Amino acid sequence: MKTFDKTVLAAIGLFFGTIPAFAGAGHDHGHKGHSHGAAAASESRIVELATAEVKGLVKKQKLESSWDKVAVKNVSRAGTLKHWVVQYENAAIKDASKSNLYVILTPEGTVKAVNFKGIEKPHSHGSGAPHVH
């Protein structure tokens, strides 16, 4: 009987001892077309995030207060990385080069830039990685 107990315990130990070997780095759960990265944001969520960014810049006095009440003029996707570009137009600004504000966000909704030019071609600063503003 003692031999049987030892054999059963050894078999159980061997079974449970090998399970972690199957869950190492590089294992696969059958991912078909998806990743564990952040999910892409919807257009309505992108508009919410961009508008919050504009309001935050007004609050920090980085933008004139008239930008606080401006509605979205256009929402589009641009560039090879398919960034979101949310455009606002402010009729109270007479300088045409400063009357359109662009908020550029990643597909997931991270703000990458806010400027008056829109999205530019990818470029790098010296030895840095290519990016857009």
pLDDT in tens, 22-75: 555 555 555 555 556 688 999 999 999 999 999 999 999 999 999 999 999 999
DSSP 47-62: HHHHHHHHHHHHHTTS
pLDDT at position 52, please? Answer: 98
Where would I find the H helices in the chain?
2-18, 43-59
Q: Is the pLDDT at 94 greater than 70, yes or no?
A: yes
**Mean pLDDT, the chain, whole residue set:** 80
53 touches 114 (CB < 8 A)? yes
pLDDT at 125: 67
- Domain residues for the domain of 62 are 43-115
Position 66 in a domain: yes
Is residue 79 one of the residues assigned to a domain? yes
CATH code, domain carrying 82: 3.10.450
Q: What is the pLDDT of residue 80?
A: 81
Cut 0.75: pTM above it? no
How many structural domains compose the chain?
A: 1
Rounded to whole angstroms, the Cα distance separating 81 from 89 reads 24
Q: Is residue 77 part of a domain?
A: yes
Q: Higher-confidence residue: 15 or 83?
A: 83
Per-residue pLDDT band for 83 (boundaries 50, 70, 90) equals very high
pLDDT of residue 132: 52
Q: Is residue 70 part of a domain?
A: yes
Q: For residues 82 and 31, which has the higher predicted lDDT (pLDDT)?
A: 82
Is 65 within a domain?
yes
Question: Per the structure block, which two tokens stand in for 110?
Answer: 């991270």
For residue 85, being part of any structural domain is answered with: yes
For residue 127 the two structure tokens come to 């030895």
CB of 47 within 8 A of CB of 90?
Answer: no
Residue in the block written with tokens 């030895």: 127
pLDDT of residue 115: 96
Structural domain contains residue 37: no
Domain assignment present for 24: no
Nearest to 132 by CA among 107, 109, 106, 108: 106
Amino acid at 14: L
**Helix intervals (H) in 60-121:** none
